[in-house]
Amino acid sequence: MTRTPAERVLLGVGIVFAVLGSLFPFVWFVLTSLKSPLAVEAIPPTWWPDGNLGFYRSALAEHQLLAYVGNSVIVAGSTTVLSLALAIPAGYALARIPMAGKSWILGGLLTISMFPQIVIAGPIWQLLNRLGGLNTHWGLTLPYVALTLPLAIWILATFFKDLPLELEEAARVDGCTVWQTLYRVMIPLATPGIFTAAILTFIYAWNEFFFALLILTDPAKQTLPVGLALFQGEFTMPWGELAAASVLATLPLIVLVLVFQRGIISGLSAGAVKG
Amino acid sequence: MRRINSEQSYGWLITCPALLVVAAFALYPALESFVLSLHRIYLGLPALGSPFVGIENYMLLLQDPVARQAFGVTFGFVALSTLLELVLGLAIALVIHERFPGRGWVRAAVLIPWAIPTVVASQMWRFIFNDQYGLANLLVFGEHVSHYLPWLAYPEWAFLAIVLADVWKTSSFAGLLLLAGLQVIPEELYDAARIDGASTWQRFRTITLPLLKPALLTALLFRTIDAFRVFDLVFVMTQGGPGDATQVIQFYGYKTLFAEGQVGYGTAISMAVFVTILVLSFLYIRTIGSTLLTRVHS
């Protein structure tokens, strides 16, 4: 594929703008996190940090950042495990087993994934209040599982659908039950799809704010987004500490994106048009 | 025939646990919200009980100027941010669809705003628009400190700041949906057009845009529905202010329901949001979803 000089210029400009536009605002926040308290409050602002890790230290020591991280790991981790454990069999059945009315189920799941949070928030709060699930991690995990299942099922159903039928048929001829076929043959083949669904579920649960805000009012239980949204200093807004905490909260996600870029892109477009 | 039947029940059996969780924590709450919206309930005044009032809350909603303002702000936000996200998303998709050295890194860089927690992005933009230490003032006014503006204190700027933050955060998602559309356009079409002497712009106008229409529609509806649910950005950056300038409908519903404890009226607001989104998602399923459903189904 050869490009005309004009196309080469256009592509170059596009690449520069895409990369700069995506990274520049966040890089500014990273630079802020590396400044000293005096440099953060300089007017006009300075560009370069004076290479100070103090904000990271105080974010960890005084703003209980590690507790938020721990809570987020617990909630996002258990959401991912539970959601996938339920979505894998469901996605397999909906893709491969002839079942009456399954297009209604898939359409219904798509609709549910578009529910605005406020519509289900009140009754969920009441339900958890009755069950004793407010201010607990399982109380937040359950709605997260319900809200991530539609996308996970869609990704997995699309993935199972594309696997070759022959292997499955061979397993069935050899006398495997549906369950054995799923666990011995299909799941190993579907590992990339499962990975993609897991990453997207994890990122959703790691980033979710609305339900976390309602369900976790006890600061000791709060996840990172709630901690960062309600971040406050004693007298002034501690921008430096906030920037440092934000950078730390985002690091795991940046690592995930760098490592699994390909899977994320194919997973996100699973809901889009293909042919 | 027997085998098919037992297979079908097995299929339902292993689908059931997932459907039960979704029913308990998404479907049932939505129905419950509808029931609540037909009652008059004030959490602060339990003595009043919760009498059934029919559509009273919905009548109130029609006359509530704050709700009308919130719907207006939301529609404005949805229209402006979705439009910008589609244009920028298309540019991003065209760039990362090309083959060039280091494309993997560019794709990863573009994904980063999407991966960053919305709360983090919101705090970041709130700091960028800070009246004293913000990057926006530095870029616009440089050393002229006396010109520095408290952006988020002006209704118009605060609104635009939220739009900008949303566009930054989600253009790449629109871009990925459009990338999926670009990938299914056969390369031969472009080769043939080149042989016929079509210019870059002509190829874009006559091949890319028409064939990208389904993907553009998908991205448009996905983004519209998602933009309707905007909450985190407003909660962190402006709390709906100044005045009610950035009070989007989901934030107003949140305040009515949880801060003021007006359960009946709050759920009526939420149902109004719900119906708006439902209309949009039916549009989505009818125009695009059906091709997808048949693909998974057949």
- Mind listing the pLDDT tens digit for each residue in B192-216? 998 988 888 899 988 998 888 888 8
Q: Is residue A244 part of a domain?
A: no
Q: How far apart are CA A103 and CA B239, in angstroms?
A: 41
For B115, the closest of A179, A203, A210 (CB atoms) is A203
pLDDT tens-digit map of A147-187: 999 989 988 998 888 888 888 888 888 888 878 888 888 88
In terms of CA atoms, which chain B residue is nearest residue A148? B22
Q: Is the pLDDT of residue A128 over 90?
A: yes
Q: Domain for residue A167, yes or no? A: yes
Largest CA distance in chain B: 83
pLDDT > 70: percent of chain A: 97
Q: pLDDT tens-digit profile of B222-247?
A: 899 889 999 999 999 999 989 899 99
Which is the CATH superfamily of the domain at B67-297? MetI-like (1.10.3720.10)
Question: Does the pLDDT of residue A122 top 70, yes or no?
Answer: yes
Query: How does pLDDT run across A64-103, given as a tens digit for each residue?
Result: 889 999 999 999 999 999 999 999 999 999 988 888 888 8
Distance in angstroms (rounded) separating the CA atoms of residues B280 and A271: 16
**Cβ-nearest to B10 among A86, A178, A264:** A178
- State the nearest Cα–Cα gap between A56 and chain B, in angstroms: 16
Q: How far is residue B121 from each of residues A247, B51, B101, B167, B168, measured CA to CA in Å? A: 11, 43, 29, 11, 9
For the CA atoms of B82, B158, A233, A224, the dihedral, rounded to the nearest 10 degrees, stands at -10
Please name the residue of chain A whose CA is at the shortest distance from the CA of residue B218: A272
Residue A124 domain flag: yes
Strand residue runs (E) in A147-268: none
Query: Cβ separation of B137 and A274 shorter than 8 Å?
Result: no
- Partner A contacted by B12 (CB < 8 A): yes
Residue A79 lies in a domain: yes
- Which residues on chain B are in Cβ contact (under 8 Å) with A5? none
CB contact under 8 A, B29 and A119: yes
Kindly state whether B33 is in contact with chain A, defined as any CB-CB distance less than 8 angstroms: yes
Q: Chain A residue with minimal CA distance to B111?
A: A257
Separation of alpha carbons B92 and A11, rounded Å: 10
What contacts B165, CB < 8 A, 6 or more positions away? B121, B122, B125, B233, B237
Asked if A99's CB is within 8 angstroms of B17's CB, the reply is no
Contact B18, A86 (CB under 8 A): yes
A272·B181 Cβ contact <8 A: yes
> For residues A35 and B164, what is the distance between their CA atoms, to the nearest angstrom?
26
Q: The domain that contains A72 carries what CATH number?
A: 1.10.3720.10
Minimum-distance CB partner of A15 among B106, B124, B145:
B106
* Domain limits, chain B: 67-297
Read off the pLDDT band of B284 (50, 70, 90). Answer: low
Whole-angstrom distance, CA of residue A228 vs CA of residue B123 = 8
CA neighbor of A240 nearest in space, from B249, B151, B127:
B127
Query: What CA–CA distance (Å, rounded) separates A107 from B83?
Result: 26
Nearest to A98 among B8, B32, B168 (CB): B8
- pLDDT tens digit string along B31-80? 999 999 999 888 888 777 788 888 889 999 999 999 999 999 999 999 99
Beta carbons of B167 and B81 less than 8 angstroms apart: yes
Q: What range defines the domain where residue A217 resides?
A: 64-230
The domain tally of chain A equals 1
Specify if A256 maps to a domain. no
Q: Tell whether B134 lies on the interface with A, counting CB pairs under 8 A.
A: yes
Closest alpha carbon to B24 in A139, A213, A106: A139
Contact list, B24 vs chain A (CB under 8 Å): 146
Q: pLDDT tens digits, residue range B3-36? A: 557 778 888 899 999 999 999 999 999 999 999 9
User: Which residue among B98, B116, B148 places its CB closest to the CB of A253?
Assistant: B116
pLDDT the model gives residue A273: 38
Residues with Cβ < 8 Å from A266, sequence gap 6 or more? A196
What distance in Å separates the CA atoms of residue A237 and residue A242, rounded to the nearest whole number? Answer: 9
Q: Which of A209, A237, A273 would best serve as a mutation to test chain B binding (most B beta carbons within 10 A)? A: A273
What do you get for the CA distance between the two ends of chain B, in Å?
19
Stronger pLDDT, A151 or B292, i.e. the higher one: A151
Question: CB–CB of A135/A221 below 8 Å?
Answer: yes
Is residue B119's pLDDT more than 50?
yes
Closest CA to A112 of B24, B288, B29, B26: B26
B206 interface with A at CB cutoff 8 Å: no
The predicted complex's ipTM stands at 0.90
**Residue B106: CB partners within 8 Å, gap ≥ 6?**
A15, A18, A19, B95, B96, B100
Chain A to chain B, count of Cβ pairs less than 8 Å apart?
328
The residue length of chain B stands at 298
Do B93 and B176 form a contact (C-beta atoms < 8 A)? yes
Q: For residue A30, tell me if it sits in a domain.
A: no
Tell me if A11 and B135 make a contact (CB, 8 A cut-off): no
Q: How far apart are CA B108 and CA B106, in angstroms?
A: 5
